[in-house]
Homo-oligomer: A and B are copies of this chain.
Amino acid sequence: MLICEVIGHVWATKKQEGMEGFKLMVVREVETNTHRGDTFVAADTVGAGIGEHVLVVDGSTARRALGGDDFVVDCAIVGIIDSIELKRENNPKLHI
C-alpha cells in the first residue's frame, strides 16, 4: 500500500458505467528523502477527507476493495492513517 495525502476531487460526467457511484479523489504519494511522490486518482471507500493521510491500493486489489471484480477502477483508498511510528536512527524524513 502507498501512503498518500488526499489533495483534491475530480469530477467526470462522461465515464464508464463501472465507475459510477464512487467519489474520485486526487491523492499524492507522501514524499520521502528518496522518492518524490506521484499524483493520481483513487476511488474512496472509507470516507476520507481532504488533507487526510490514507492507505491506497492499486490494480486488481483496488477492484476487490470496491466490492467486485468488474469495476473499471484501478486505484482505491482503503484506510485512513491515524499515526505512523518510524524508528529514530535512520531518520527517513517521511514528510507528514
Contacts and interface: CB of A to CB of B under 8 A. Distances in A.
Interface of A: 1-3, 7-16, 18-19, 24, 26, 28, 30-32, 34-42, 45-47, 50-51, 55, 57-65, 69-76, 78-87, 90, 92, 94
- For the complex formed by this chain, how many copies does it contain in all? 5
A34 B28 contact: yes
B83 A72 contact: no
Nearest to A60: B60
A83 to B, nearest CB: 5
Interface of A is mostly: mixed
A61 B76 CA distance: 13
Contact of A58 (B18, B41, B74, B94): B74
